[in-house]
Structure 1
C-alpha cells in the first residue's frame, strides 16, 4: 500500500484508535520541516474508567508521552513513535521499507514492536522524530491483568531486540539522549540487582535494607509528583505505589 501511494505523508492508526478532530492537521503542521521523518500524537486510554487497571495504564501513557517522549522530542529523537497514532514522511518510508520488512529476531521473521523498529531506522537514516502533545488519540487498553502482561512482554521483547540498533546511534545522539538510552536498557537490570542485594542483606545479614527501599521510593515519588503538578491530577501521587 505504501509503495503504491502517492501522498507526501502517511498516517498510521490502529483499528481501535479514535482520533481527535484536529489530529491530522496538527501532525501535518509538525511535518512541514523536511528533516522530520515521523511524528506521534499523545495517547490516552479510551476505556480509562473501565477498571482499576485501565486507570493505571492511562497514567502510564501520560508519563510515557509527556515526560519520556516530550524530553526526547526536545532533541528531535523520539525513540518510539507509537503505532496507534503516528505520521511518517512517505519518501523516508520508501527509503527504509526494505529494511523494515526484513525484521528478524532469533532467526525468525518478527512481527512485533514494528513501531519502535521503524522509528530507530528513521533515526539511523538521519531523520528527526517528534512528539505533538496536543494531537490526542484515544486507544483501547487491556482491562484485565492477563492481556496486559502479555502486551508488556511483547513490548519488552521489541525493546530488547531494538536495543542493539539504538546502541549504534549513541555516537550521534545528544548527551541527554545517550544517558536516556543507556538508562532504559540498564535500568531494569540495576533494579533487579538492587532487589536481589536487598533480599540477600535481609536473609544473610538479618537487617532490613532501608536505604535501598527509600532510594527507589524517593525516585518514584519525585517523578510522580512532577507529573501530578504538570497534569494537575493528584492521582499520580497514588500511582507511585504502582510504579
Structure 2
C-alpha cells in the first residue's frame, strides 16, 4: 500500500511538472502581450492549481491510515458520541441515513434525529425507529441550524457527528474519525470524504461524483495538510464538543445584512473552530446568558481542522441541471457569508493556505469576467482563437483532475466526466456568484 502511494505521488509530481510547463509555455507563446492583466491572471490561476496538486500529494497524510499502520487503534479511548441530523420532508431517503448510522462499527453512541416540522410522512418513518434512536419533533419549522441546536441541547456525547438526511455513512467512517480525535487532542473538527450516492443515475450525477472526489481528495487535502480545512462538509462533519459548544447560540442566531442567515451551516460552524482563539471570547461574552455558555466555559484554543480521506460518506447529488443550479447558489451564498466571517481571521493561518483562500475568493469574483473577455470580447475584436484556447485550457485542467480521480479509483471509469464539470463551472455555475449576491437575503435550508 505504502509503495503504491509512493509510486502515485512520484507519477503525480512528474505529470504536474510536464503539465505546468506545457500550459505556461502555451500562455507565453499564445496570449496577447498587450493583455498583460489577462496573462498574469492566467499564470497565477494555473500556478495555484498545480501548487495545490503538489502540496496535496507531497504533504497530505490520512491520519486514520497512519494510526492503523502504527497498530494503536486498540489502545485509544472510545468516548460516547452523539450522531445528530435534522430532517424536513425527507420520507423517501431518511431510512438509508438512519440505517447507516445504526450499522456503524462504532457502537458507543446515540442517534438523535430532529424533525423540523415536516409536512409529509417523515414523522411516521421516524416512529418506526423509536426503540433505536431518539426523535425530537419540533412544532414549527425553525431551519436547519436551530433544529440541530435542539439536537445538541439533548445530546450527551463528547463528540458530535453531523450528517445530512440524504447521506449514507460508511460502516467504519465514524470509528476512523473518533480514533483521530483520541489520537490528537489538538484536533477540533474532522471532515469525511464525500462521494455521490446516486452517481450511476445519469450523466450529470456521474460528473458531480467525479467533482466531489477531487474537491475532497485535492482541495480539502491541501488545506488539511496545514490543519486549516475551511469547510467540514455536511454529509459527514465531526466536531469535538468543547470546540463548538459555546458557539452554538452564535451559530443559531447568525445574521448577515440584518437578516437571519440559514445557509453556511457547515462553513460557519467550521469557522468557529478555526477562529476560536481569535473570536471565541468575544462571541461567548455576547451570548453570556445562554445555557450553552453558562453551563460550561470551554477555553479558547487554536484548534486544527483536518480531512480524513478514508472516512467515506455518500450523499444524493442533484440529478437535473435546475437542481444543480439551486445547490450551487446555496453554496455560493455560504461562500459569501464565510468570506465576511472566516475571512476576517483566516490570514492568521499558515501563509500557504491563507494565500490560497484569499486568492480563491478573488478568482471566484473575477472568473466570470475573464471568461466573458476570452469567449466574447476578444473573439469579437479580432482574436478569434482566444475562446478556443481558453476552453482548451479549462478542459485540460479538468482532465488533470480526472487523472487524480483515476489514480485514487483505478477501477472506476467516472474520471472521464471531470472535464465536463470544469466547463460547466466556467460557463454557467461561476456566474451564480452574482445572482447569489443579489438574492443573499433569500434563504431556505431544505433541499426540496
TM-score in terms of structure 2 length: 0.51
Instruction: Tell me if the contact between 2:402 and 2:415 (Cα under 8 Å) persists in the aligned partners.
Output: yes
| 2: CA distance, partners of 1:78 / 1:54 | 25
Pairing partner for 2:235 from 84, 89, 107: 84
Most deviating of 117-126 and 4-13:
4-13
Give the aligned partner of residue 205 of structure 1. 382
Alpha-carbon distance in structure 2 between the residues aligned to 1:189 and 1:110? 21
- Higher mean alpha-carbon deviation, 12-21 vs 111-120, is at 12-21
1:123-162 counterparts in 2 under 5 A? Answer: 123-125=274-276, 126-162=302-338
What SS does the aligned partner of 1:84 have?
Answer: helix
| Rounded Cα–Cα distance in structure 2 between residues aligned with 1:221 and 1:215 | 10
Equivalent positions of 1:61-76 (< 5 A) are 61-76=212-227
Structure 1 contact 37–127 (Cα < 8 Å) conserved: yes
Give the CA deviation at 1:28. Answer: 0.4
Separation of aligned partners in 2, 1:10 and 1:238: 35
Residue 174 of structure 2 is matched in structure 1 by 24
Tell me, in whole angstroms, the C-alpha distance in 2 between the residues paired with 1:213 and 1:142.
25
Q: Determine if contact 1:194/1:212 at 8 Å carries over to the other structure.
A: no
Which of the residues 395, 402, 415 maps onto 1:236?
A: 415
Aligned to 2:61: none
State yes or no: 1:108 paired with 2:256: no
In 1, are the aligned partners of 2:230 and 2:267 still within 8 Å (CA)? yes
Residue equivalent to 1:12: 162
Larger radius of gyration: 2
Gaps of 5+ in 2: 1-150, 277-301, 423-448
Cα deviation, residue 227, structure 1? 3.1
Aligned residues: 243
Q: How many angstroms apart in 2 are the aligned matches of 1:220 and 1:179?
A: 22
TM-score by length of 1: 0.91
Aligned equivalents of 1:185 and 1:162: distance in 2? 10
In 1, the alpha carbon distance for the partners of 2:240 and 2:421 equals 38
